[in-house]
Chain A
Amino acid sequence: MDACTAVGREIDKVLSKFTSYSDHASNTISSLRGNIESLQIEISQVGNGDITEAQAVILSQALGRVKEAVTRLSTEHRDLHSSVSKVGKAIDKNFTADFGCISNDSVFSGEKQQLVNEVICQHFFREGLLDIAEEFISETGLELQEESREPFFELNRILAALKARDLGPALQWAEENREKLRSQNSSLEFKLHRLAYINLIKEGPPCVPQAIEYARVHFTPFVFQHEKVIQSLMGCLLYVKGGLENSPYADLLTPHQWSEICDVFTRDACALLGLSVDSSLAVCVNAGCTALPVLLNIKQVMQQRAVHNMWNTKEELPIEIDLGPSSRYHSIFACPILRQQSTESNPPMRLICGHVISRDALNKLTTSAKLKCPYCPVEQNPADAVQIFF
């Protein structure tokens, strides 16, 4: 945070200096003006004659003061410039001005532009910004198939209803997709019913029979997976009269339940439709923001390797970038001997003892049809190694 604190400090200084200058200027001019006005009144009382010597002296003194004060105000303002330019220097010092040096312009130009626009459009759909997406499509002349929009419309409609605390569309959708949800081990439908039940209970004692009727109809199919939860839900009926807020079941009433159900719905629906849970663009941008400073740091190395070649071949980046455990979407095997990633032509091989090395390493370690594992003293025939797939 040093970068921001440094700039923040400078700008605070500038703002306070400006404020004090402004006040000072205002006061000075007001007092000067008041002074001159009173002199004017005094002199106008003289009438048609001439002013006295004394008045002339006072007047010229006052005028001299006016000139001096006004010029000084202008100079003071000019002096503020150094503080202002300090802000600019702080910005230039702490923030990288040229971050485009490590990437390639041509990657996203030409026909690729269309792909980028498609990605952006998908992102808008997913975030529920449907009107912005429409505007974007008309401005760029993008052609999207109808099918790619459909699922998002449906999802957003249901999510909007959930945010407005209306469970109807969500329940209908969950019923329609019951089989698929069950094969995913999703408890979405039960959670929706649970919320509906809690809503009824919240209304107080008059709604209790309605709530019990609801429970009878809808909870029975879920008894096998969610017995304990159903037991506690029925148990809270005891406290309805006295007010649930004072009972051990108070946490059933928290608004957190609603935000949780939106999350659960999004997650299960996306898994069902084979979509990613988070917008791919968002994931990519977050990864990029983590990766960029690392790449800028080794800019020198990248430039030595000739930037254009760097970004146009199927080589690897020269440095490892750790994006955190949540960004591991694929298994990556790096051979511990040769320190290279496995590829189609160099897959991981499991030796008889269970240790895994790459095929190239295996070939290198083989001497006259015998192979000794580098980690344990087990010897084997190289042909006995099995190719594995992560």
Chain B
Amino acid sequence: MADVSSIEHPTLKVPYDVLNKKFRLAQKTLDREVCHVTSAVTELERVLFTDSRSASQISSLLGGVVEKLSSFKRKAEEATQEEMESGRVVKRRVDHLKDHDSLSPSVVTEWKRTRLDRLLVEYLLRAGCYSTATKLASSRSIEGLTNLDVFLVAREVEQSLGCRDTSKCLSWCHDNKSKLRKLNSSLEFNVRMQEFIELIKSDRRMEAIRHARKHFTGQEPGHLPSIQRCMALIAFPANTDVTRYKELLSDVRWDQLIEQFRAENLKLYQLSSQSAFSVVVQSGLSALKTPHCYRGATGHNPDCPVCQPSLNSLASPLPYAHCSQSRLVCHISGEQLNENNQPLMLPNGYVYGQKALQQMASENNGTIVCPRSRQTFNIRDAEKVFVM
């Protein structure tokens, strides 16, 4: 249960944020519709209390009220449906997480498999492998359980920024205005600045000045030095060599914008900068890592993940697993060595389990071959070893 609460925060928080957003939208819609209805009603009341109480006029105004009420009903229904749908997404995910504790082992195994797929999808999305992630999610039917949508929207914005188009980014900023303000985000300002710079680059300086008048005047005081630098740019030609202004004109700024957008997107949804996948893999490698994995091929166990070549080099900077009690396994059979399978030492110092040695001896007239040194001994030469 503890592992669910450790890594599943993003799984639930992101759809909750969507729910919150939908709620706010719904509230705005309702308030707007209430305004419409109230104004229509007030108009009618005004007519009622003046002297002209012409039936036809009142009748048509009443028709207007009915219309506004219908539109209110429709919009309210749509809005609450959306809210409920996002609430249901949260509920579905919570129910899925509950399976982790199920009493049936096959359900738990399947759940763990799904967990690995979910972690992989998130890692792939962060790494930018969008089509692999989408394919994986759809082949395992887990789209509802992953935050695919968030990253796909982000991808559109990133792609548009890559094409030097700022419209999608600006509409994204507008959608998330309140949250970005809470984060003190400078993204929108930077985008506007970049637009200004692009206007300068294409020599449309008058337009640039108008653009600056429109967008730079409402900015916070902290941005003043950047604004001043931008305005100074007007004085320089597009191929200037003065370093400070050359920097402003370089294309690298677009990449920086994309980076900033990515980071802000993650912060917005309270996603950490590292993917859960890499954190989990690191912890797992560390918990499985033993000195044996690094002692050359003789120590390797093909089942041990850390003995696999790629994972082996990935795990080298990580700490080893801590063990305060001995845990021994027989090198031949892989079974534990304990009082049912006592460890026996051959004269060359290698230790194996009693069961495996006895089986080998019974098939070979009492002789045993040490698998690691290829020396032969008789089973009677094996001595007991006592490990506390």
Contact of A73 among B30, B284, B320 (CB under 8 A): B30
Specify the chain A residue showing the minimal Cβ separation from B307. Answer: A329
Residue B203, interface by CB 8 Å: no
Q: Residue B153 at the A interface, CB < 8 A?
A: no
| B328 adjacent to A49 (CB under 8 Å) | no
B120 CB–A CB distance under 8 Å: yes
The answer to whether B314 and A334 have CB atoms under 8 Å apart is no
> Pick the contact of B62 from A43, A87, A355 — CB < 8 Å?
A43
Closest A residue by C-beta to B373 = A389
CA distance A22 to B320 in the complex (A): 57
C-alpha spacing A107/B91, complex, angstroms: 35
Interface size on B, residues (CB 8 A): 136
Interface segment, B158-166, B206-214, B297-305? B297-305
Whether the Cβ atoms of B304 and A330 lie closer than 8 Å is: yes
CB-nearest residue of chain A to B99? A4
| Of B113, B281, B349, B388, the contact of A388 (CB 8 Å cutoff) | B349
Q: What number of A residues sit within 8 Å (CB to CB) of B?
A: 142
Contact of B132 among A22, A95, A136, A333 (CB under 8 A): A136
Q: A77-B30, A389-B349 are in contact. Are A293 and B313 (CB under 8 A)?
A: no
Q: How far is the CB of A32 from chain B (nearest CB, A)?
A: 6
Interface stretch (choices A98-106, A166-174, A226-234): A98-106
Max count, chain B CB within 10 A of own CB: residue among A1, A48, A50, A99 = A99
- A-side contacts of B139, CB under 8 Å: 129, 132
B112 sits at the interface (CB 8 A):
yes
Contacts of B136 in A (CB 8 A): 129, 132
Contact A330 B292 (CB under 8 A): yes
Q: Is the CB of B56 within 8 A of A48?
A: yes
Cα–Cα distance between A301 and B84 once the two chains are bound (Å): 43
Chain A residues within 8 Å of B322, by CB: 316-321, 341
Q: Mark A35-47, 1 if CB is under 8 A from B, else 0.
A: 0110110011011
B232 is an interface residue with CB less than 8 A from chain A: no
Q: Given the complex of chains A and B, what is the CA–CA distance between A60 and B372 in angstroms?
A: 100
- Which one of A50, A107, A321, A341 contacts B317 once the chains associate, using CB atoms below 8 Å? A107
Residues of B within 8 A of A334 (CB): 323-326
Task: Check B224 for interface membership: any CB of A closer than 8 A.
Answer: no
Q: Whole-angstrom distance from the CB of A68 to the nearest CB of chain B?
A: 10
Question: Chain A's interface: helix, strand, loop or mixed, by majority?
Answer: helix
Instruction: Assess whether A293 is in contact with B6, with CB atoms less than 8 Å apart.
Output: yes
Q: Tell whether A81 is near chain B: CB-to-CB under 8 Å.
A: yes
Closest beta carbon of chain A to B273's beta carbon, Å = 7
For B84, give its contact among A15, A339, A386 (CB under 8 Å): A15
List of B residues within 8 angstroms of A249 by Cβ: none
Complex CA gap A289/B4 in Å reads 8
Contacts of B302 in A (CB 8 A): 274-276
Interface segment out of the listed A187-195, A196-204, A279-287 = A279-287
Q: A4-B98, A95-B9, A107-B318 are in contact. Are A36 and B65 (CB under 8 A)?
A: yes
Q: Does A176 contact B (CB under 8 A)?
A: no
**CB within 8 Å of A: which B284-339 residues:** 284-288, 290-293, 295, 299, 301-305, 307-308, 310-311, 313-314, 317-329, 331, 336-337
Asked whether, in the complex, the Cβ of B9 is within 8 Å of the Cβ of A288, the reply is no
B84 touches A19 (CB 8 A): yes
| Contact pattern, B 32-48, Cβ under 8 Å of A = 1, otherwise 0 | 01100110011011001
Which listed segment binds A: B73-81, B176-184, B235-243? B73-81
Which listed residue (B7, B27, B94) contacts A99, Cβ 8 A? B7
Q: Does A291 contact B (CB under 8 A)?
A: yes
Q: Is B246 an interface residue (CB 8 A)?
A: no
Q: Is the interface of B mostly helix, strand, loop or mixed?
A: helix
B41 CB to nearest A CB, Å: 5
- Selected from B98, B116, B326, B351, the residue in CB contact (under 8 A) with A1 is B98
Residue B55, interface by CB 8 Å = yes
Contact (Cβ within 8 A) B314 A281: no
**Would you call B34 and A70 a contact (CB within 8 A)?**
yes
Residues of chain A within 8 A of B299, CB atoms compared: 330
A96–B6 CB distance below 8 A: yes
A4 touches B2 (CB 8 A): no
Residues of chain B contacted by A77 (CB below 8 angstroms): 26-27, 30
Checking B58, B72, B301, B385 against A329 with a beta-carbon cut-off of 8 angstroms, the contacting residue is: B301
Are B38 and A71 closer than 8 Å at their CB atoms? Answer: yes
B144 interfacial contact with A, CB 8 Å: no
Complex CA gap A196/B16 in Å reads 54
**Contact, CB under 8 Å: A103 / B386:** no
Beta-carbon contact of B34 and A311 below 8 Å? no
List the B side residues contacting A353 at CB < 8 Å.
Answer: 386
Check: A251 CB closer than 8 A to any chain B CB: no
The A148-196 residues at the B interface (CB cut-off 8 A) are none
Closest beta carbon of chain B to A127's beta carbon, Å: 9
- The reply to whether A115 and B313 contact each other, CB–CB distance below 8 Å, is yes
Q: Specify which chain A residues have a CB less than 8 angstroms from the CB of B277 in the assembled complex.
A: 285
- Chosen A-B contacts, 18 in total, with CB atoms closer than 8 Å, are A8-B94, A15-B84, A48-B55, A63-B41, A71-B38, A85-B20, A103-B274, A118-B310, A140-B129, A276-B304, A284-B311, A312-B317, A314-B320, A316-B321, A332-B327, A341-B320, A343-B291, A355-B387
Contact residues of B with A, CB < 8 Å?
Answer: 1-9, 12-13, 16, 19-20, 23, 26-27, 30-31, 33-34, 37-38, 41-42, 44-45, 48, 52-56, 58-59, 62-63, 65-66, 69-70, 72-73, 76-77, 80-81, 83-84, 87-88, 90-91, 94-95, 97-98, 101, 112-113, 115-116, 119-120, 123-124, 127-129, 131-132, 135-136, 139, 270, 272-274, 276-288, 290-293, 295, 299, 301-305, 307-308, 310-311, 313-314, 317-329, 331, 336-337, 343, 345, 349-351, 372, 383-388
Residues of A within 8 A of B (CB): 1-5, 7-8, 11-12, 14-15, 18-19, 21-22, 25-26, 29-30, 32-33, 36-37, 39-40, 43-44, 46-51, 56, 59-60, 63, 66-67, 70-71, 73-74, 77-78, 80-81, 84-85, 87-88, 91-92, 94-100, 102-105, 107-108, 112-113, 115-116, 118-120, 122-123, 129, 131-132, 135-136, 139-140, 274-278, 280-293, 295-296, 310-321, 323, 325, 327-334, 336, 339, 341-344, 350, 353-356, 375, 386-390
Task: Give 8 nearest A-B pairs by CB, closest first.
Answer: A288-B284, A329-B304, A280-B305, A288-B280, A293-B2, A287-B284, A95-B9, A291-B287
